[in-house]
Amino acid sequence: MRILFAATSPFALPTLNTLLHRHTIAAVITKPDAPSGRGKKLRPSPIKDGAQKHGILIFDKSIQELVYAIRDIKPDILVVAAYGAIIPLGVLAIPRYGALNIHPSLLPKYRGASPIQAAILNGDTETGVTVIRLTKELDAGPIISQKKITLFPKITAGLLHDELADLGAELLQETLEKGPPFNEILQNESRASYTKKITPLDAELDCKKSAVILERKVRAYNPAPGAYITITNYQLRITDKSRSLNKQKTLRLKIWRAEIKKDAPQFSEGAPFIIDDGCPALMCADRQLLLLTEVQPEGRKRMRGVDFANGYLSAQP
């Protein structure tokens, strides 16, 4: 089959590689080059970079401008994976067998922009990928195929992203081997739920929440945008010996890894950020401690929590 592939983010790279080895990719549609990195230089999307290496025809304009070009290449089917924009109905109607979309959740659960993070935030024990027929409604098309995996307790969004990306490529290949035509099942709208685009503000840790909720947030926002807290002298409380913030009065601290301390000692009311046996920790609303085992002060490298405590906190005279 001649496949038109619309994708932008790294999630779609395994699918691109699978299609390259099993099918003919007539063209790739991807988002235009965008500013990236500290220098904000224009850089191609990971999909554009991968397609260029294989000499594939690339369209990186707005998809609304590509209707005539898409008609000219006469694709059999359109495959969409993490493209990052709505596909117009006029484009969906061009391929002979319509359009398929790979979505990283068990639809109709977690439609929208952040299904991977939602599964972790809600403490789900399973998730998966779904291949649907693309329609004008967001992630609401008929289900063609679906695969489940178990969610392990300590998994981060980054690791889950990669696992689901591989699973999505595998499921798409199995789907294309069985059709077209495809067996389709309408989604149950009464079970539909939606996720939103994540912003840095969502990743701030609020000690008015339970330790379980905050630990999930650390994993759900790892690696991006990264869970964080802002520490000031007025928030600091020491349980082993008296210290104060070293060099800075206010510090934004990114949290890479955290764990709930079992049988944590009970503390009286006080500042939420504490040092417990040499490790930075948050005293949460449920009176449990969240140990910050790997952190990154703003502008610095990642480090162990105990090294942060030793390097950024100093004993008072």
Could you tell me if 115 and 247 lie in one domain? no
Picking from 195, 228, 263, the residue at the C-terminal end of a domain is: 195
Q: In this predicted structure, which of 22-36, 167-181, 248-262, 265-279 has the lowest mean pLDDT?
A: 265-279
> Which of 180, 195, 210 is the last residue before a domain boundary?
195
Residues 176, 207, single domain; the answer is no
* Arithmetic mean of pLDDT, 189-208: 95
Read off the pLDDT band of 304 (50, 70, 90): very high
Tell me the per-residue pLDDT of 66-80, one tens digit each, with 9 for 90 and over.
888 999 999 999 999
CATH number of the domain bearing residue 91 = 3.40.50.170
Tokens standing for residue 5 = 């592939």
- Confidence at 210, pLDDT banded by 50, 70, 90: very high
Residue 60 has pLDDT above 50, yes or no: yes
pLDDT tier, 315 (very low <50, low <70, confident <90, very high otherwise) = very low
Same domain, 14 and 161: yes
Average pLDDT over the chain, rounded to whole? 89
Q: State how far Cα 210 lies from the chain centre.
A: 23
Looking at the fold, whether 169 and 309 belong to one and the same domain comes out as no
Rounded average pLDDT over 200-205: 95
Same domain, 254 and 165: no
Identify which of 51, 102, 53, 93 has the alpha carbon closest to the alpha carbon of residue 75. Answer: 93
Domain that holds residue 37: 2-195
Distance between first and last Cα of the chain: 75
Q: How many domains does the chain have?
A: 2
DSSP codes joined into one string, 171-202: HHHHHHHH-SS---B---GGG--EE----GGG
**Strand partners for 260:** 290
What is the domain-level CATH number for residue 268?
A: 3.10.25.10
Confirm if 82 and 8 have CB atoms less than 8 A apart. Answer: yes
What pTM was computed for the model?
0.91
Interval 100-127: pLDDT, tens: 999 999 999 999 999 999 999 999 999 9
Q: Is a pLDDT exceeding 80 seen at residue 39?
A: no
DSSP string computed for 4-38:
EEEE-SGGGHHHHHHHHHHSEEEEEE-PPPEEETT
Identify whether residues 174 and 236 lie together within a single domain.
no
pLDDT at residue 268 is higher than 60: no
Q: Based on the domain organization, do 188 and 229 belong to the same domain?
A: no
pLDDT of 285 reads 87
Same domain flag for 186 and 204: no
Ramachandran area for residue 46 (φ above 0: left; ψ -120 to 50: alpha; else beta): alpha
For residue 247 the two structure tokens come to 């060099």
Say yes or no: 141 and 216 in one domain: no
